[in-house]
Amino acid sequence: MLAFVNSDRPLIDYAGADAVCALHLLGPHPAEPSSPILELPCPHLFAAMHDSYMRRCLGDATHIVASLHGSAEQLAGLLYSFILYQVSDRDATVAFQREIATLATHPAMEGGRRLRAEYLGLVRQVIETGVAEGVFRSSDVEVDSLLMFGSSQWAWTWFRPAGRLSALEVGSQLVQLVLGSLLRNRRQLAALADPAGRAARTAEDRLSRSARAPGSEHVA
């Protein structure tokens, strides 16, 4: 049985090449070491699918930042999105978060590296704006952003969509962890970390629409 994939669901039911890529990439579930390992068909195919996925993520992030007000709310929305990807377009998310370290320096990934750098730059700009405005305490933005991505992109190893906490609830924990340390004034933290609040709803609505939209990597 493949990790995180419903083996009872026919392959044809998975919509889009990204999901097919995930089925090729995902090896055995850690609890089932005897499961067969499916080989990556082609680094260039992986790169093309990764680029499509990253364009979609970049469009999501741009929309979230434009829809929310102030650096604290914008960062909260982005943090929610980091975790919501574990349930939105999950097959592709798990595949790329799992395999990117293996192929990160492959020549075919050059376009993907640019997209990832642009995505990281957008998040860093939100943090830098918050620091400049006095909303966030002064910090090493480069390191802080890598810690945020490092923690959220490892979630595929432990997060279960049907588990004890929903993606929104886990996202709330991440918002409390990150913004609780960055905010100079924590009075708005409860509202930012509310899974039913504006930051969470904006991220959830955007990712829900993005995952359903044909050619969604181009939706802004």
- Return the CATH number at 126: 1.10.357.10
The tally of domains found in the chain comes to 1
Asked if residue 2 is part of any domain, the answer here is no
Asked if residue 142 is part of any domain, the answer here is yes
Asked if residue 115 is part of any domain, the answer here is yes
- CA nearest neighbour of 126 among 191, 81, 159: 81
Asked if residue 96 is part of any domain, the answer here is yes
Asked if residue 37 is part of any domain, the answer here is no
Answer whether residue 158 shows pLDDT above 70.
yes
Q: How much of the chain, in percent, has pLDDT values that exceed 70? A: 70
| 207/167 Cα distance (integer angstroms) | 12
- CA nearest neighbour of 204 among 65, 95, 60: 60
Asked if residue 86 is part of any domain, the answer here is yes
Residue 38 contacts residue 29 (beta carbons within 8 Å): no
What tens digit of pLDDT does each residue of 82-137 get?
A: 999 999 888 888 877 776 666 667 776 677 678 888 999 999 999 999 999 999 99
Q: What would the two tokens of residue 182 be?
A: 């960055």
Asked if residue 18 is part of any domain, the answer here is no
- The parent domain of residue 82 ranges over 43-218
| 35/6 Cα distance (integer angstroms) | 14
What tens digit of pLDDT does each residue of 68-85 get?
A: 999 999 999 999 999 999
Q: What would the two tokens of residue 192 be?
A: 């930012």
Q: What is the pTM of this model?
A: 0.76
Q: Is 5 helix (H, G, I), strand (E, B) or coil?
A: coil
Asked if residue 16 is part of any domain, the answer here is no
